[in-house]
Structure 1
């Protein structure tokens, strides 16, 4: 049984909107096969192909060519079951036999290759834009999205856009411009960048070139090795989006006397790891709507990233909404705001205020998103009571340190937009999510608690129910346990990566036995 989901054809949830559904099942013989659809929703299939040649299951999704179809990908998304390994090596590509033909290609695109004997498949690989455009923007400011895995392209974009404002507006006239804002990421995935091969080699210690056919669904080595390569690819993308996009924009902003503010998640096609992604920004923000699900994961994502990366202020795009104009008021907003104060929000950004230049045009200029925090609203004259409460709450919550008893490790998989609390905490206790980077670089143990340089501390580290962990991280966890840290969770079984395979798996098993017994 499998699911076919191509309900959202927008490019920002996949630059191959109708990419093939790749399903792998054990070898089966028969004269005829039947597919039974339990629910079709009016959609159909253009073609069904059955083949004895193995295919990388869900390779379109695993390469981020097609991403989660709705705004809230929870923790278990982007995780796939292990595939059965085909025992007939003649049906898969041997990575040792892959030949790079680049050196045989002329500048005019002519291939001059003395082909060895045998049957060969020639595959040409190149890089194209995903087709996603920025928005909302004026026609003059609309174009293709930049490469989010390149500091050079980010700096070029800054110079062409914000750089023009800096050059045209005298410094004396832009004293209030202090922050560059990165809203929630909604521009889809990408899986390639300039200099990708060499950068990948540096990160993972092996040449990805023989495994490039995996991106097109071909099995290289075996299903296990192919999936490990794709795991490395997705992790590489998440790292680069964090360090080169968020970190790159932060660096170029600092050079121009500005800081960055970021919502560390994305409702449409987010390719990163939300904690690492947020950690590279100067400030972090979440969001919540006046009703509905939006806010369920975004604010904990923001506050956790702020806490583990040493940031005091945790903002939230607050009380936003869609439709129902002028039907909400502070009495029904307060409870929603209070909930997210308890999740770590301590800086309220009202959504939305639009200046009202006219007195004779009522109710004035408003947007289809957000509540109307402006002077033409009937309760505007009483709003200072509500604003005063929010300001006092913000001030008090920014004093001292947030108290979280437990750190839930989110795992190393990517993309990742939230964590999981398994098991759930009893009432009266709170938590943060934590990632591998912070465990590696910022956690120490003091008096039985895991402490961070900025003062946050946790009594317990909870590991998710995953079979995989990279040996470098497990070695750090082993070190923390030896220093007195408390760990709850199952023993991992292997590394998810192709790096150091198979020796890395043996290291994980050995250390797991030493820690868990």
Structure 2
């Protein structure tokens, strides 16, 4: 229900109505069905609408306590009356009805309002895209680079999209058995083991449908238009690694590197050139985010492997509209209405310089971290489906991923489907133009038989496969269970593990490679030939890539302290150059070799500072030496009167002011200064003092 004042435009939404004096509730009876027949949908801004209507029966099945199953669907007449007499015994009836979650397209543009589509049905998508075919007919749409789909947010409705009319048929085709024969297990009413297995199969089927009937179908349509697709897969009830992999440009969002890495991992593993991000959507309250805040947000994406930044967002607003103009919920406001708009080019030049490296090379990650989706599919929650944004919180996968990240291991996530495309050699695992050292299987209960067989094949080819803690216990799912379990157990028993690495690692040699088991992740990685970047011990974070010139590092000081010192790079090179992406400076770094022949370079990074270190396989005489600045004398406090002059901004320019102590204009320019947002100039005349210094370092303190 929503609220409005009689005779006035509607304000608010279905979920967050705005309360005003004299408002009255709008009942569902005030709306016309179908929802498209309502002429004021833009004003209504509905999130969800459910009209009262009969729900069509999908199936009715009787189950006896002796194990008999009877499909009664055809015994129900149009009036909903069942004509059946139960045989002797105790029977339980399960009925499934096709509901209507009523989720609406959020913040739709004019003409785009209405119900969301059935993402699991290719026919529904084709019907939706047919309208675009009609609009494009006879027109050259090649200037359109691509089509974009925002994050899957059907799950934020009351209820969720967990059904499609052909689900029973699609399930049987993919899982090999009739789901109608096992409804108690689907709904959690059978044994714990069977409940988990049938639920896993159901969720995997929905994942397949979202991948094949929506994502891949949409991509095919877009390619027929000679365009690409950009898609945010997170939030979907599916293995989002597979969804991202099916997209031309995977796009992520958020503030957690592990979440970001799901999109970038799919790009790296499948050899995609670009991976994008919805950047800086929420940093602070409206107009309170600074360009420094924006930079720190962008650096997080770069560290996660993103190389194609998009800002969220820029609102259209009439030129003559009084400040602040038309706004929307995203609070950063990348628009001329923001006081730092004239300085926006500085951060964009920074992004350009960083992305010139990240877009011209490939990731140089050592470790593939397996995403044990079957474990998460098998865990019952509050709803039938589980939606994935990244690493499930509190899981063993999260603990393993956080250890890899914090300890400086360069890694990507990988799915069961993506593992099937891996090739192995004694040099490592090959995919997407990247050579990985190892695959890590976090401690998990279930492992698909096909995945276990593939891991064994990769080991035979020369790969070293790491299992944390133990081998998985069992295969996932319910179909052909005994047959698959028998084969899984046979493969497991064939592995002969022996002690290695002073007993810290158990190793089974297979062909040219091996399988390793250890409760200590780092011991296992060392045995598998993967090494870590020790710069993380000093508060530096990195993304590592490979270009023809050599390995490069995007490095950011995410700590609160200055860094100055030597770091060891896990690569062999003769030289390294630092590219200051913020200012455009570059030059060779002081360099030396470690005892084992690895390159060491000397760096200075202030808190929040970042840059690109490019190692060079061959010495390059065209580079000059990078200049670092250090104080050479004593510091002197600047005293005197500061002159404050307001240059541009609004709502009005305050009068100039004088300050005896440097500080914010909100404390020194009266009420106008407290209201002012824009650019001002602080100036002070002072004597440089004695000496022959060639330059001075001005420290303004915290600005």
TM tier relative to shorter chain: 0.7 to 0.9
Q: Which residue of structure 1 lines up, in the alignment, with residue 149 of structure 2?
A: 182
Secondary structure of residue in 1 paired with 2:223 = helix
1 or 2, which has the higher helix percentage? 1
User: Structure 1 residue 149 and structure 2 residue 120: aligned?
Assistant: yes
Q: How many residues align?
A: 413
Contact 2:257-2:300 within 8 A present in 1 as well: no
Give 2:566's aligned residue.
Answer: none
Give the Cα separation in 2 of the matches to 1:95 and 1:478: 42
> Which protein has the larger Cα radius of gyration, Structure 1 or Structure 2?
2
- Partner of residue 85, structure 1: none
Q: How much has 1:164 moved relative to structure 2?
A: 5.1
Query: Secondary structure at 1:358's aligned position in 2?
Result: coil
Deviations 1:348-369 (A, max 9, x none): 1122222444256223333230
From the superposition, tell whether residues 306 and 140 of structure 1 become closer, same or farther in structure 2 (CA, over 3 Å): same
Q: CA deviation at 1:399?
A: 0.9
Query: Match of 1:285?
Result: 251
Q: Mapping of 1:102-251 within 5 angstroms?
A: 102-106=73-77, 109-113=80-84, 115-137=86-108, 141-160=112-131, 162-163=132-133, 165-167=135-137, 171-172=139-140, 174-188=141-155, 189-219=160-190, 222-251=191-220
SS of the aligned residue for 1:417 comes to coil
Question: Is the 1:204–1:499 contact (alpha carbons within 8 Å) kept by the matching residues of 2?
Answer: yes
Which string of whole-angstrom CA distances, capped at 9 and with x for unpartnered residues, describes residues 264-319 of structure 1? 202xxx3111101111222111124xxxxx34443211101111122110111112
Match of 1:460 among 431, 438, 442: 438
Q: How big is the shift at 1:175?
A: 4.8
Structure 1 residue 446 corresponds to structure 2 residue 416: no
Structure with greater contact order relative to length (CA < 8 Å, sep ≥ 6): 1
- Kindly state the Cα deviation for residue 96 of structure 1 after the two structures are TM-superposed: 4.8
Corresponding residue to 1:435 among 402, 409, 415: 415
Instruction: Assess if the C-alpha contact under 8 Å between 1:96 and 1:210 holds in 2.
Output: no
Partner SS for 2:71: coil
Residue 265 (str. 1) matches residue 260 (str. 2): no
**Aligned-residue offset at 1:141:** 3.4
TM-score normalised by the chain length of structure 1: 0.74
1:351 and 2:308 are equivalent in the alignment: no
**Cα offset, 1:114, TM superposition:** 5.8
TM-score (normalizing by structure 2): 0.55
Q: Secondary structure at the match of 1:192?
A: coil
Q: Residue in 2 aligned with 1:493?
A: 473
Aligned partners of 1:356 and 1:376 also within 8 Å: no
CA contact (8 A) 2:186 2:198 kept: no
Tell me which residue corresponds to 1:252. 221
For 1:20, the equivalent position in structure 2 comes to none
Q: Deviations over 1:386-445 (max 9, x none)?
A: 2111112112211121111100001132444324355423644311000000111x1010
Counterparts of 2:227 and 2:203, CA distance in 1 = 31
Would you say the 8 A contact 2:362–2:433 is kept in 1?
Answer: yes
> Which protein is richer in strand relative to its size?
2
Deviation at 1:256, TM superposition (A): 3.3
Q: For 1:95 and 1:244, locate their aligned partners in 2 and report how far apart those are by CA, in whole Å.
A: 39
User: What is the aligned partner in structure 2 of residue 383 from structure 1?
Assistant: 344
After superposition, the C-alpha distances for 1:368-399 in whole angstroms (9 at most, x for unaligned) are 30422222322222221221111121122111
**Contact 1:410/1:418 (CA < 8 Å) preserved in 2?**
no
Distance 1:342 1:138, change over 3 A: closer
